[in-house]
Amino acid sequence: MNKIILVIDRLPLKGYVVLIATDPVTGQEIARRENRNLIVTVGKQLIGDMLIDVAGYDTGITYCAIGTGSAAPAVGNTTLATEAGTRQTITTKSRSGNVISLRTFFAAANCSINIAESGLFGHSTASGTVNTGVLFSRALVAYNNSGGGADITILWTITIG
């Protein structure tokens, strides 16, 4: 008798983002905001293209951006709602098992906006220029830094599986 064995294997991606505002002089934490993030459709496609080494997709996730848009993240997003401020290269990247951690530092002078959102970008076309590269993930994180009174560090944790 033949048996049919059904194997379902999924590779879920989950993310979490933390925004930490610190005093630029003392380094003391002023505020902390935390939220889940959304891995968007083009972000999932980015991973697929990186896995099969499509040209231009060999750079990984390289930039973190902030913006003032407050629209809820949606799987169809390809950019932040309203990217603003200065996009930064991810400062540190690490992996422990199936958890990836990304940290990006924004000096107070580079993020004096009312921050409402953040996103991760990859591909060889990603640069310090607004709306470049492929959006991997987007999250709402609110902190009013309009006066430029705080340095901002954004921590992303992506769990695979």
Amino acid 121: pLDDT: 96
pTM of the model: 0.89
In the chain, domain spans:
32-160
CB 103 within 8 A of CB 153: yes
136 contacts: CB under 8 Å, gap ≥ 6: 39, 40, 42, 43, 46, 47, 61, 119, 120, 121, 122
pLDDT in tens, 117-156: 999 999 999 999 999 999 999 999 999 999 999 999 999 9
pLDDT in tens, 69-127: 999 999 999 999 999 978 999 999 999 999 999 999 999 999 999 999 999 999 999 99
Amino acid 153: pLDDT: 98
3-state SS, one letter per residue, for 39-107: ECHHHHHHHHHHHCCCCCCCCCEEEEEEECCCCCCCCCCCCCCCEEEEEEECCEEEEECCEEEEEEEEC
